[in-house]
A and B are shown apart, each in its own frame.
Chain A
Amino acid sequence: DVKVTQSSRYLVKRTGEKVFLECVQDMDHENMFWYRQDPGLGLRLIYFSYDVKMKEKGDIPEGYSVSREKKERFSLILESASTNQTSMYLCASSPGETQYFGPGTRLLVL
Chain B
Amino acid sequence: KQEVTQIPAALSVPEGENLVLNCSFTDSAIYNLQWFRQDPGKGLTSLLLIQSSQREQTSGRLNASLDKSSGRSTLYIAASQPGDSATYLCAVKDSNYQLIWGAGTKLIIKP
Task: Give me the interface of A with B, judged by CB distance under 8 Å.
Answer: 4, 9, 40-45, 58, 90, 92, 97-104, 106
Contact = CB atoms under 8 A, between A and B. Distances in A.
A100 B9 CA distance: 24
B44 A101 contact: yes
Interface of B: 4, 9, 32, 34, 41-46, 49, 89, 91, 98-104
Main secondary structure of the interface of A (DSSP, over half): loop
A97 B32 contact: yes
26 contacts: A9-B41, A40-B9, A41-B103, A42-B91, A42-B100, A42-B102, A43-B89, A43-B101, A44-B101, A45-B99, A58-B98, A90-B43, A90-B44, A92-B44, A97-B49, A99-B44, A99-B46, A101-B43, A101-B44, A101-B45, A102-B43, A103-B41, A103-B42, A103-B43, A104-B42, A104-B43
